[in-house]
Amino acid sequence: MSENSPFQQALPPVFEDWFASRGWQPRSYQLKMIDAFNGRQSTLLIAPTGAGKTLSGFLPSLVNMTLEECKHLHTLYISPLKALANDIQRNLTDPVEQMGLNISIETRTGDTPSHKRQRQRRLPPNILLTTPESLMLMLSYADAPRIFSRLKCVIVDEVHSFVSNKRGDFTTLALARLTRLAGHYVRFGLSATVAEPQALATWLGSKAKPAELLIEQSPVLPDIKVVEPSERMPYGGFMAKYAVADIYAQIKASQMTLVFVNTRAQVELMFQMLWEHNRDALPIAIYHGSLSKEQRHKTESMMAKGMLRAIVTTSALELGIDWGDVDVVIQVGAPKGVSRLLQRIGRSNHRMDEPSQALMVPANRFEALECEAAMSAIKAQKLDGEPGHPGSLDIVPQYILNCLCSEADTPDVLFDEIRNAQPYFDLTREDFDKLFEFTENGGYALKYYDRYCRLSQDEEGRYQPANKRVIQRHRQNIGTIVEAGRLKVKRLRRKHQGQVVGEVEEYFAQQLVPGDTFLFAGEVLKFEGIRDMFVEASPSKGGEPKIPSYVGGQLPLSTFLAEGVRQLLNEPSRWSSLSPQVREWLDLQQAFSELPGRDSVLIEQFPYRKAFHTLFYTFEGRKANQTLGMLVTKRMERLGLKPLSFSVTDYGLSVCSLVAFGESAIPRLFHPDILGDELEDWMLEAPMLKRSFRRVAVVSGLTEQNYHATRKSMKQVTFSTDLIYDTLREYDPDHILLKVARQDAERELLDLSRLADLLIRFVGKVRFRALTKVSPMAIPIVLDVRSEQVKGVGVEALLEQASLMDEADQLMQDVRDYLEQTD
């Protein structure tokens, strides 16, 4: 098909005029999307940011509604973020108003007031912008069939962020439900560039047919540089301080800069460092997911008005939000994945025919290697991707109940419906039946108890919720993301009075003592206490702040990039592009020890601070290394090698022990069979599985996440899932939720498959080096302070230290005396 003419005929004059009035031409793929809509062909559009992707998704619907009058819900847009839905509404309302189209566009998210939600159910807009959770809630109402029956199109934005996670699984189930309610509708997916577009197309499509692919290549490669630091680059840790002057200079030289770092804690740190450097008082702001809505909105609107010169942020600004003209993106710290890096870089310069500008600032020398590997991959247009996985089973009970809240149904029909969602194509009837039984009555093995039934059955064999309370409880708990408990942070001005500036994880708040200081929302706060679910803190000056540590901050290194780093190490000819400081470091390593090879795993052992460190250079990412660390130390305990602690980075594992064990022990430690014995032992040890059981219990509806308002009732209702876990393990070991928890733990926490690959690949292929001191390459790893203490006998030894065993002897005598009397 030729690029232009046949399609432009199809565009109504009002659209042509609108394009012309702005001096634009519809792009060929925008027209192809209209074609796809008319042919009712589900399509995945992959285009770089700045290519008018969003408009491409909506254009067919706008055209269709212009040609045929529409008084019902026509198009549903699903966004991974509330903020994105709001943003799209702004960006979509403008052209619709400019063209004078009679099309209503509304958002519906957790923030939508209830009167508006009621009205939306009665009188849905033509285009509804929502999130998966809000959509699921709408689908649970009895009037869902009426609302969705005439749906023509569903647009899923940022599809790549949905694949391979529970939220994505949840979304595919919603899509399957919509097929049941609306018959055939067109599914459009919008995505940034990804490694495996076909996998995304399959995810988006129906069982009968994957979505068609429409790929728009970026005509220009981004222009990426690595900082040429004026100061010495550190060996390890997050030490971007050396480059603050360079970062600041870049901000000063640009109109608007986005500074990306990898964790929220680093945002605070980076912001603080920049602010200390800010001699010109440039307006620099901070933005991350833990800040309060008001704070974020303020930053958003300042950015939209062009009042800011830089924002320091995390992945919170990574997805397609478009608030202003960013001319440079700075990535501080390692990018951790090529796709992620591209996504971030794409935030700059929303004109697709000019290159995006980016500056990378590795936080240490190891990260410099990662930056280089990522840049080579981008040049070669290679991307990393996450492997797909079968759908999470804990979502199934939630979904079953959701459907039954809307209308009564039989298990057979629901089974077929669920199997229409891509991650559940292979769901077995056996698993489904167990999950259904769980939904109905808990599915417990003990037969002699009267079972409480959440569902009741009618004469035709259809099930429905047993009472209103079941429905209400389910609706309060819809969602899949279980967050760590969070407390709001109140910045005090007067006693107990002040403004809420954001949230921190509960466990973080609990480790603070009054007087402690921490960095939050860009300033140092002094912890005063916890009152009525608020962390109270007052502004403070001076003192070493404790930095908020947030859960989920660590991004795992993608396998692809790890491999890239390993390759780079083995091709000295490519080192010329590295900075002299990094080259010097590599040369030193080669002279002192050796470089990790591609066909073997390097293991170094050396004394350091009165203990012995054994370093495994795996290049398999933090999660896999964490698992390896737990298993290796477990095996070491068994062999009497007295491990003390271990620490991990993306590149390797460092185990600290009291004795040097030498090369002879290595084959017994670094061996695939630790995945057998040690893994089983370790998995059964409570904390690990209990953690995932906690999530599974909430997601599957066993216990609840939302508590009714007051604190008192929270104390009563909060129910430790650990206790349920223990009783199930004891009396009902084959219960379906234990199986689900196990699957979940294996997948999400362990990265077992990656570890298994590694161990099998390198069994017997180990290079062992006994060294007299720390090798240059080991420094970044041993300097990592987040070491994990080895569990086991340790805890009791610690309790002994903490306890008072002294006066026990006297009392013991009392008992003896008593026993003698009674004998």
Partner 1 sequence: MSKLIKHIQHGHARPIKFAGDTWLLDGKGCIVNLAHQTLIVSDLHFEKASYLNHYGNVLPTLDTFDTLKRLAELIDFYSPQRVVCLGDSFHDVRALDRMAETDLATLTALAEQVECWVWVQGNHDPDLPEWLTGDIVDSLTLGEARLLHEPDAHISAPQIVGHFHPKLTVKTAGRKVTGKCVVASSSLMILPSFGSYTGGLGVNDKAITSLFGQQSVNYHLLRKEKVWPIKP
Residues that bind partner 1 (CB under 8 A): 438-439, 441-442, 444, 446, 448-450, 452, 454, 469-470, 472-474, 701-704, 715, 718-720, 723-724, 727-728, 730-732, 735, 789, 794-795, 798-805, 808, 811-812, 814-816, 818-819, 822-823
Q: How far is the CB of 337 from partner 1 (least distance, A)?
A: 31
| Residues 671 and 369 sit within 8 Å (Cβ to Cβ) | no
For 602, the 3-state DSSP assignment is strand
Nearer to partner 1, 70 or 487 (CB): 487
Q: How far is the CB of 419 from partner 1 (least distance, A)?
A: 24
SS3 assignment for 361-425: ECCCHHHHHHHHHHHHHHHCCCCCCCCCCCCCCCHHHHHHHHHHHHCCECHHHHHHHHCCCHHHC
Question: Measured between alpha carbons, how far is 306 from 304 in angstroms, rounded to an integer?
Answer: 5
Nearer to partner 1, 430 or 820 (CB): 820
Nearer to partner 1, 232 or 715 (CB): 715
Nearer to partner 1, 577 or 720 (CB): 720
Q: How far is the CB of 508 from partner 1 (least distance, A)?
A: 13
Nearer to partner 1, 203 or 438 (CB): 438
Residues 108-114: contacts with CB within 8 Å, 24+ apart?
Answer: 108/134, 108/138, 109/82, 109/85, 109/134, 110/82, 110/134, 111/82, 111/293
Nearer to partner 1, 459 or 809 (CB): 809
Nearer to partner 1, 438 or 560 (CB): 438
| Residues 569 and 595 sit within 8 Å (Cβ to Cβ) | yes
* Residue 777, φ and ψ in degrees, nearest 5: -75, -25
In angstroms, the first-to-last Cα distance of the chain is: 103
| Residues 702 and 683 sit within 8 Å (Cβ to Cβ) | no
Q: In what order do the strands lie in the sheet with 75-78?
A: 105-108, 127-130, 75-78, 153-156, 186-191, 43-46, 212-215
Nearer to partner 1, 449 or 460 (CB): 449
Question: Measured between alpha carbons, how far is 303 from 297 in angstroms, rounded to an integer?
Answer: 10
Q: How far is the CB of 800 from partner 1 (least distance, A)?
A: 8
Q: How far is the CB of 738 from partner 1 (least distance, A)?
A: 11
Nearer to partner 1, 281 or 785 (CB): 785
Nearer to partner 1, 4 or 472 (CB): 472
Q: Residue 711 burial by CB count (10 A; 0-12/13-18/19+): exposed, middle or buried?
A: exposed
Q: How far is the CB of 342 from partner 1 (least distance, A)?
A: 39
b/e burial code for range 567-597 (CB count within 10 A of at least 16 → b)? ebbeeeeeeeebbebbbebbeebeebbebbe
Q: How far is the CB of 479 from partner 1 (least distance, A)?
A: 16
Question: Measured between alpha carbons, how far is 24 from 26 in angstroms, rounded to an integer?
Answer: 7
Q: How far is the CB of 808 from partner 1 (least distance, A)?
A: 7
Q: How far is the CB of 559 from partner 1 (least distance, A)?
A: 32
Q: How far is the CB of 653 from partner 1 (least distance, A)?
A: 20
- Reading the block at residue 697, the tokens are 């219990």
Q: Are strands 153-156 and 75-78 parallel, antiparallel or unpaired?
A: parallel
Q: How far is the CB of 805 from partner 1 (least distance, A)?
A: 7
Nearer to partner 1, 90 or 469 (CB): 469
Q: Determine the length of the chain.
A: 823
Q: Hunting for tokens 């077995």 — which residue is that? A: 428
Question: Measured between alpha carbons, how far is 787 from 631 in angstroms, rounded to an integer?
Answer: 15
